[in-house]
């Protein structure tokens, strides 16, 4: 039976998969806060705290095909629009209370993502003890490149992660420096929410976050994965 909707529902957002015509349909976007020690320090924290999470809406994604340059609109209300390069986990098998020892088999693949941030608004909200949504979960705040299936991705746990702005390196580190590694992140996250196939997890950013302006070209890399390029419009 076809449902009689009042208006046409929004189509699911999906991400292309490297080496396949299939697309990964997105359910939710979870993000880990301050998950690299040097980034925690630059934000004024010690880096020694339990993992914490926030979400972005699935339709905040900017999906960029391999070899293409995505368009990243400069958002409203900010004068301090920051880049955060992140490794993204694509969950293929859901579950709750997943133990770290079992967690890696829940990952379908990996992608390069950017957790774009209206830093001035996020800082205002932090000061007032209010939710970060306006600083983190705005429209077009989550560029992502194609998903590479686990079997084709190489040793992501030790991969270099980097972001260039106009071909100048702004962020460079290694996934090995995650405070809470991929498996531990899934353990903590799945204790709080039941993970579903189609969930994406932005795992956190290393140090070097900074502002971008219209015209800037951002290129994100994680070794072994498709890179991600966007231009700020
Ligand atoms: Mn982030």
pLDDT tens digits along 164-178: 999 999 999 999 999
Gap from CA of 96 to ligand 1 centroid (Å) = 23
Residue 105 confidence (pLDDT): 98
- The beta strand positions in 122-184, using DSSP E, are 142-144, 148-149, 160-165, 168-174
Nearest to 228 by CA among 40, 65, 8, 35: 65
**Can you say how many angstroms the Cα of residue 165 is from the centroid of all Cα atoms in its chain?**
18
pLDDT at 47 over 80: no
94 C-alpha to center of ligand 1: Å?
22
Give me ligand 1 centre to Cα 5, in Å.
36
Distance 12 CA to ligand 1 centre (A): 23
Looking at residue 193, what is its pLDDT?
98
Cα(38) to centroid(ligand 1), Å = 13
pLDDT in tens, 172-208: 999 999 999 999 999 999 999 999 999 999 999 999 9
| d(CA 4, ligand 1 centre) in Å | 39
Which DSSP symbol is given to 135? H
Dist. CA 22 → ligand 1 center (Å) = 28
Q: Smallest Cα–Cα separation from 60: which of 133, 162, 121, 167?
A: 133
Structure-token pair, residue 86: 């992140």
pLDDT given for residue 2 in this prediction:
82
Given a contact cutoff of 8 angstroms between Cβ atoms, the answer to whether 106 and 94 are in contact is yes
Q: Considering the entire predicted model, what is its pTM?
A: 0.98
Tens-place pLDDT, residues 52-84: 999 999 999 999 999 999 999 999 999 999 999
Ligand 1 center from residue 116 Cα (angstroms): 8
Can you say how many angstroms the Cα of residue 97 is from the centroid of all Cα atoms in its chain?
22
Residue 177 token pair:
């420096």
Q: What are phi and psi of 130, to 5 degrees?
A: -105, 165
Retrieve residue 43's tokens. 């934000």
What does the pLDDT read at residue 129? 97
Q: What is the pLDDT of residue 48?
A: 73
Q: Could you tell me the sign of the dihedral formed by the alpha carbons of 107, 108, 111, 116, in that order?
A: negative
- Name the phi and psi angles at 70, rounded to 5: -80, 160
**Beta-strand relationship, 117-118 and 107-114:** unpaired
Distances, alpha carbon 40 to alpha carbons 20, 49, 51, 129, 167, in Å: 37, 10, 12, 18, 25
6 CA to middle of ligand 1, Å?
A: 36
Q: Determine the distance separating the centroid of ligand 1 and the alpha carbon of 209, expressed in angstroms.
A: 10
Domains along the chain with CATH numbers:
17-232 (3.90.850.10)
Looking at the predicted structure, is the pLDDT value of residue 1 above 80?
no
């Amino acid at each position: 039976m076809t449902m009689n909707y009042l208006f046409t529902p929004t189509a699911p957002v999906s991400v292309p998969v490297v080496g396949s015509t299939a697309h990964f349909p997105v359910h939710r976007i979870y993000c880990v806060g301050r998950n690299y020690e040097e980034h925690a320090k630059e934000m004024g924290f010690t880096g020694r705290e339990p993992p914490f999470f926030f979400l972005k809406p699935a339709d905040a994604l900017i999906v960029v095909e391999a070899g293409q340059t995505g368009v990243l609109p400069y958002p409203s209300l900010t004068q301090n629009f920051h880049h955060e390069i992140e490794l993204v986990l694509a969950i293929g098998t859901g579950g709750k209370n997943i133990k770290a020892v079992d967690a890696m088999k829940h990952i379908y693949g990996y992608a390069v993502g950017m957790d774009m941030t209206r830093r001035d608004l996020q800082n205002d909200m932090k000061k007032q003890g209010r939710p970060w949504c306006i600083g983190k979960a705005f429209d077009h705040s989550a560029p992502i490149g194609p998903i590479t299936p686990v079997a084709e991705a190489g040793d992501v746990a030790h991969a270099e992660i980097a972001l260039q702005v106009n071909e100048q390196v702004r962020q460079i580190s290694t996934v090995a420096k995650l405070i809470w590694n991929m498996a531990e992140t899934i353990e903590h996250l799945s204790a709080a929410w039941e993970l579903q196939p189609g969930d994406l997890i932005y795992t956190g950013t290393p140090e070097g976050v900074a502002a971008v302006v219209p015209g800037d070209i951002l290129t994100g890399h994680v070794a072994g994965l498709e890179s991600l390029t966007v231009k700020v419009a």
